[in-house]
Amino acid sequence: MHIALICSCSGAESEENHGLHVTLDDNCTWILRGGSACAACENKNKAYLIPPGACGILNPSTIYANNEVSLAEVDIYGFDYDYTLALYSNALHSMIYNAARGFLVDHFKYPQGIRKYEYIPNFAARGLHYDIQKGLLMKIDAFHYIQPGTVYRGLSPVPDEEVLELYGGTFHIPLEQDSGFYGKGPRVKQFMDIFSIPEMTLMAVANDFFITNNIDYDPVHLYKDVTEAVGMVHLKGYMYKWIMQDLGKKYILRGEETDAVLHKLVDQGKKLFLITNSPFAFVDKGMTHMVGKNWREFFDVVIVQADKPHFFTDCVKPFRRLDCDGALRWDKIKSLEKGQIYKQGNLFDFLKLTGWRGTKVLYFGDHLYSDLADLTLRHGWRTAAIVPELEQETKIVSTSRYSTSLTWMQALTGLLEQLQTHQDPASKEVFQEWKKEREELRIIAKNLFNPQFGSIFRTCHNPTYFSRRLCRFSDLYMASLSCLLNYDSNFTFYPRRTPLQHEAPLWMDQLCTGCRKTPHLEEMSTIR
């Protein structure tokens, strides 16, 4: 068998004895490695390596839809505080890591050698799973399969062969072992929020210290101790103190955009409320920095230390009011009044006192489980996820290197599917070469995001477990709250009708949302 590359311009054949017959389409879209064609078609090949419909530059300020949402029907906007109204810089991660590392050594009496490990900014990524008993950090896809090449014991990758041996000859994590509804399974935990990135890094570092120094230890004890050490950073108020001492210079980002969003919504006659787990003094300091001393005038209801996700499921804990000094009052709460600050409470009383129900409410949060899951599954609110990682990921997806790698990888996948029916030795040899090349391209694409774990949204071919939860629990998702500035109050978000495996892409609406110019992007640029 021989290669026959059919040139669309003349129909001429260019032959080489490589053991395969491949025909280019009318546009010479695909390039076959090792083959040759006329000069005109080679030029065309280079031009069309990325098909004409592929993404050019994605807009990181786009709001993406998992479900159809009309803002004209939304009268009430609710917000979490941390990583929603207030976005933080990565400098906070190293501070949390350093403090928790100190607690691990000083309070839990771990070896002093752990202090030598500095924070590794780009080691972990949100949405990873951790096998508590085996001490393994890994990435799992939407079908509960571990992605090969993304399992780490300490700071070192675990070979795929060893992973298979550890999990009984499969990459699959059974449902009963996997993370439960709130990301905490009996044996495997999912790290879902952004604050967990320094926790994962410290977990990896502590494991690495014991392994490299050949010290026997129990991974279950290590997991509990690291989790408690990180928890102490929050419970003792260290994080709140750092941020309050250096609001504008180091930690809080894009405060002027939060101010612009709140002004815009209030000017449109929308009702606003805030439900956060953070304490009032911390929220007050941050909101005063971003919006001004009169920030409470924007909100019809403000609830602090809400204890989410229990706030959404508990129907017993009553609301308590705080006075102007932040002290708790003892009066029974019969209404939620504007200008007042409330603590604790529960959503069932919130619904009775406000009457805010159903799809006229849109709530924004960064934690898919604690902020959004119960609201969309139990109460029918609209939900919007804040995913700051989107900004960097869309920039990577827009690069020619990523687009070229992905396009050729997809082309190879189609060629492999067709070639597998040929069982002669020459075809089998080419099949293995293409399979190896596709794996190399996959690694290139993965490393563009994170060398250890890749994109938070995709595994090799499937969505990640994080991505699946994002689609299930959020109607909309975006990089930051400021993306709302791009859309007017009557805008309707339409999810893309991407074809199912058994459907043909017969419709024209195949360009992703991010390729379109958002309505008010130029106006927003004046704010930034």
Active site residues: 80, 82
Do the annotations mark residue 366 as ligand-binding? Answer: yes
Note whether 259 and 294 are within 8 A (CB).
no
The secondary element (H helix, E strand) that includes residue 350 is helix 347-354
Q: Which residue has the tokens 């809080």?
A: 252
Is 225 flagged in the annotation as binding? Answer: no
Whole-angstrom Cα distance, residue 28 to residue 13?
A: 13
In the chain, the amino acid numbered 228 is E
CB atoms within 10 A of CB 273: 21
Q: What DSSP line would sit under 52-89, residue for residue?
A: TTS-S---TTPPEESS-EEGGG--EEEE-TBTTTBEE-
82 in a known ligand binding site = yes
| Cβ pair 33, 437 in contact under 8 A | yes
Gyration radius (Cα) of the chain, Å = 26
Q: 3-state DSSP call for residue 131? A: strand
Give the list of residues 6+ apart from residue 354 with CB closer than 8 angstroms, or none.
Answer: 273, 301, 336
Distance of alpha carbon 401 from alpha carbon 37, whole angstroms: 24
**Can you read off the two tokens belonging to residue 211?**
């392994």
Count CB neighbours of 276 within 10 A. 24
Residues 89/250, Cβ–Cβ less than 8 Å? yes
What are φ and ψ of residue 88, in 5° steps? -115, 150
| Unique residue bearing structure tokens 């960097």 | 392
| Token pair for 480 | 């930051």
C-alpha to C-alpha distances, 433 to 34, 81, 408, 414, nearest whole angstrom: 11, 51, 14, 14
Q: Rounded CA gap, 375 and 360, in Å?
A: 13
User: Could you give the CA distance from residue 139 to residue 265 in angstroms, rounded to a whole number?
Assistant: 38
Determine if the peptide bond prior to 309 is cis (ω within 30°): yes
What residues form the annotated binding site for Mg(2+)? 80, 366
What residues form the annotated binding site? 80, 82, 366
